[in-house]
Structure 1
């Protein structure tokens, strides 16, 4: 049986994990990015301005983690959408209003 490559990917350009998890995990070419809220990576606090500003910052955070793995948003499926997770929670960390998680694939991808 072939062994799989497992690597933790992290960057100082995105907020560090609040709990016992990693910013992202790379298994072979598949990158699992932990849910990101609208936290400023420097202060560790939620950005002000409401839901829209939190959403923008969460996308910036995801983008920085993707970049640390040698990816960008084009590595997150655009056409043939993968399975997704959608859930409701009682509360997100720091009182965040939303959270974004992504799964990306490093390198070229051919959809069949």
Structure 2
């Protein structure tokens, strides 16, 4: 069984997809970018600004699924330019605690944004 996650606290995007899906014990967060949840417009001109908003969007989707960033086990990162890698990382590390999630980071042809991130989280055990 699967259930869609929906929150006004993150961008809803503009395609035929859910912000996130709960399936079994996992939450799958769709690719998020630096889009303002209210206007849907791109926010920020630097990789740091765009990374922060992108991760806040993910954080809010996870919150709607009753998870936190500590529950994230895998992240896929798409950067418009790998030249931004170090600057991206300076913001990324502020959102996660050890152990850091497994991660893939690649350069991708992104339209009008510098970063897109998707994530997989494991739902916390409510019995512990």
Same fold (TM > 0.5): yes
1:101-112 to 2 correspondence within 5 Å? 101-108=118-125
Tell me which residue corresponds to 1:89. 108
Normalised to the residue count of structure 2, the TM-score between the two structures is 0.71
Tell me which residue corresponds to 1:75. 71
If each structure's strand is expressed as a fraction of its own residues, which one has the higher value? Answer: 2
Tell me which residue corresponds to 2:115. 98
1:19-38 to 2 correspondence within 5 Å? 19-38=15-34
Unaligned ranges ≥5, structure 1: none
Residue 29 (structure 1) shift: 1.3
Tell me which residue corresponds to 2:84. none
Determine if contact 2:34/2:44 at 8 Å carries over to the other structure. Answer: no
1:39-58 to 2 correspondence within 5 Å? 39-58=35-54
Q: C-alpha distance in 1, partners of 2:52/2:67?
A: 19
Q: C-alpha distance in 1, partners of 2:50/2:71?
A: 23
Unaligned ranges ≥5, structure 2: 74-97
Q: C-alpha distance in 2, partners of 1:75/1:11?
A: 18
Normalised to the residue count of structure 1, the TM-score between the two structures is 0.80
Question: Between Structure 1 and Structure 2, whose CA radius of gyration is higher?
Answer: 1
Deviation by residue 1:62-110 (Cα, 9 ceiling, x = unmatched):
000000000001111353855x554443334xx11111111001114xx
Q: Report the number of matched residues.
A: 101
Task: For residue 19 of structure 1, give the secondary structure of its aligned residue in structure 2.
Answer: coil
Tell me which residue corresponds to 2:12. 16
Q: C-alpha distance in 2, partners of 1:15/1:80?
A: 25
